[in-house]
Structure 1
């Protein structure tokens, strides 16, 4: 859908809040029906938020990752599925903006994203390797300037709703599993054969169905840099930070609901401290720890951006991994605290204090690049590298 128009004079935060209001109105229905959050995503497009990371000469606003994280957090407080789709889209934008410089085709496509508010999906998971981002079984075939690819993708987040999909594969049929490229295919350049339905505990609106992906496109649509470089210097860090921001938003909304519950209890019994007040204080403390962790990581990323040595440093990778693991674990503890505070009103659906959707969505966080896989990678790095403990960076 083309929603081109002048960029709003409102701030990014104000525009995100307006979009989040719409997304929040439909969040429970999106969850119950396990459907794509059409209303929330259309509101995001109407606010011209899809291409804000892109540089201004291509139609974007050169938003920093911290500003993108703020948008993800605001959306996460309203509808986690909408926020996750937006975050995943921005992860693809970051890969294009940082690693396709000099490619005329990709620069033109970034301009199209801004003009038409296009949605970019991602196909990295594959049957036989699961969620191992840095391995592929399938391989691109390039002949006479055309790239062809078939991939058995166990999940493609919001695949049916995407305007284009970035797909990882081996560089060629003779390449090792880790020698990968990423190729951007437009909607009219691929077919999706549905193989698995997305019927899950939480994050139901992301519609991460499984498909056999078959694509054919001009070879210039292969990103010019190896996927190993894209993953190490952009995708993994951006993923962990933006996912963390939306998870923080989910937990923040749970804390806000439990705070409202405690306030209502305090009004009913003047002069008495409600029984949930201490747990509320504890949840607030944990929420602040997540916020501090994310802010630290965002500052580290912004400082390292454009410096391959800094982005490839073990200390940087350890910090980004710890942010993902720590945030994904702590949001569950926070939301459990909030459930205890709100009691049956939080356990039931349809109350102002309902937290079932928050808790179910939060359980996905430890599985998105499984924490055990991340901890294994971190442990290998810590065997050879002392953890950075300096406050000065």
Structure 2
């Protein structure tokens, strides 16, 4: 075993020694089921009123789910990305908006865990976030550049170790309910739009002025209004690596996988409703299958394929994370990372997002055909209208058109497009 591997193993053993208070994935899944039950009781009201799922979020805080993915060294449970994906899938079967809020929160947590742990302010922040179960949000969009998170118009004004920033964001999901917002900006006023940093801005260091409303087709509980955000603080609140690296290594891999788990959870709940409707029909006419039998079989098959596809991507992301830890332990430069592997993972995650966001909509459309008017109406146990409306947001969260163009560019750099079994 080389020195780098020994250092990694020693770190893992030390973490195990500190993990007596950390919960297992089984315990966390049980907690997520309890939260999902509470979320389900309020999901219709959240949807009708386009209000924040306060009851579900309070339950997440009570169950200490916000720190599930924080390493045990910082007081969290150290749950793997695959484990968090299963939590998201479970929560989504109760309330899509609550589950998406949880997934977006975790995509911000991982940015600090992966790229801020060497800074004392960031370590102290993680400790406080775990202790107080803070909810983290993200401000990456901007009025002058739209949804292109890889460019910023606003810039950090840093003087004598203190910064100020002002950003006009067309959407900040659940921003006014978050305890902290992670904000992208240009590194300094003379920096080009792509030279970005990520700032950790607790709510006591920033102000929000709401600009616009959130009256939408679906995902109404995410409360993603636009805001004028003004933040100030110390230089240590700025993560020390470029945002491009944070996005490639942490934010996007976690976002695409956890969003996909939410979409699968929504579709799974719709299929479970359709399955129960089908069983009720079959009991009414013993010996004869209802005419929707083939649709149900196809919907279940597609859900299983989506789950298998997500598991494959989760395994790839976790393998990449392990390799990054080994490189960091051996003090290897980023240039030592295999370029073909990183390009392959990026294109795979893009294709994951495309396939799951489209397939989930198709699955729920099939369940609507199975349940018929009972699925079309909003006041039956078999209603899937909310599921369908929520899932129509999936192709829009980082536009599928933009992702397809990015994927095509990545495929130009790859020798083979399809890979092997």
- TM range, normalised to the smaller chain? over 0.9
Kept in 2, the 8 Å contact 1:75–1:83? The answer is yes
TM-score between the two structures when normalised by the length of structure 1: 0.96
Which residue is 1:3 aligned to? none
The structural deviation recorded for 1:7 is 6.8
Q: Is 2:81 the counterpart of 1:81?
A: no
Q: How does 1:368-387 map to 2 (within 5 A)?
A: 368-385=397-414, 386-387=416-417
CA offset digits 1:232-253 (Å, max 9, x no partner):
1111111100000010000000
Which residue is 1:97 aligned to? 113
Bigger mean CA deviation after superposition, 228-237 or 312-321: 312-321
In 2, Cα distance between the equivalents of 1:270 and 1:114? 54
CA offset digits 1:128-171 (Å, max 9, x no partner):
11111101010010012111000000000001100010000000
Which residue is 2:14 aligned to? none
Which residue is 1:21 aligned to? 37
In 1, Cα distance between the equivalents of 2:134 and 2:338? 32
Kept in 1, the 8 Å contact 2:23–2:77? The answer is no
The structural deviation recorded for 1:368 is 0.3
Bigger mean CA deviation after superposition, 248-257 or 217-226: 217-226
**What is the root-mean-square deviation of aligned Cα atoms in Å?**
1.3
> 353, 363, 375: which one pairs with 1:324?
353
Q: Is 2:101 the counterpart of 1:71?
A: no
Q: Is 2:374 the counterpart of 1:345?
A: yes
Q: How does 1:272-283 map to 2 (within 5 A)?
A: 272-283=288-299
SS of 2:396's equivalent in the other structure is coil
Which residue is 2:9 aligned to? none
Kept in 1, the 8 Å contact 2:22–2:76? The answer is no
The structural deviation recorded for 1:390 is 2.5
Which residue is 1:291 aligned to? 307
| Long gaps (5+) in structure 1 | 1-5
In 1, Cα distance between the equivalents of 2:358 and 2:128? 38
Q: How does 1:145-160 map to 2 (within 5 A)?
A: 145-160=161-176
In 2, Cα distance between the equivalents of 1:247 and 1:66? 15
Q: How does 1:1-393 map to 2 (within 5 A)?
A: 11-305=27-321, 306-307=323-324, 309=337, 313-385=342-414, 386-391=416-421
SS of 2:419's equivalent in the other structure is coil
SS of 1:157's equivalent in the other structure is coil
The structural deviation recorded for 1:55 is 1.2
In 2, Cα distance between the equivalents of 1:177 and 1:122? 18
Kept in 2, the 8 Å contact 1:139–1:169? The answer is yes
Aligned residue pairs, count: 386
SS of 2:76's equivalent in the other structure is coil
In 2, Cα distance between the equivalents of 1:277 and 1:46? 42
Judging changes above 3 Å, is the alpha-carbon distance between structure 1 residues 310 and 100 closer, same or farther for their aligned structure 2 residues?
farther
SS of 2:420's equivalent in the other structure is coil
Q: Which runs of 4+ in 1 moved over 4 A?
A: 6-10
In 1, Cα distance between the equivalents of 2:60 and 2:179? 15
The structural deviation recorded for 1:388 is 4.8
Kept in 2, the 8 Å contact 1:8–1:48? The answer is no
In 2, Cα distance between the equivalents of 1:100 and 1:387? 35
SS of 1:11's equivalent in the other structure is helix
SS of 1:122's equivalent in the other structure is strand
In 2, Cα distance between the equivalents of 1:310 and 1:104? 31
In 1, Cα distance between the equivalents of 2:130 and 2:204? 19
Bigger mean CA deviation after superposition, 244-253 or 96-105: 96-105
The structural deviation recorded for 1:101 is 2.2
Kept in 1, the 8 Å contact 2:270–2:387? The answer is yes
In 2, Cα distance between the equivalents of 1:196 and 1:367? 19
CA offset digits 1:244-285 (Å, max 9, x no partner):
001000000000000000000000000010111110000011
> Greater helix percent: which structure?
2
| Long gaps (5+) in structure 2 | 1-20, 325-333
The structural deviation recorded for 1:387 is 2.0
In 1, Cα distance between the equivalents of 2:235 and 2:413? 40
In 2, Cα distance between the equivalents of 1:76 and 1:362? 11
Kept in 1, the 8 Å contact 2:76–2:130? The answer is yes
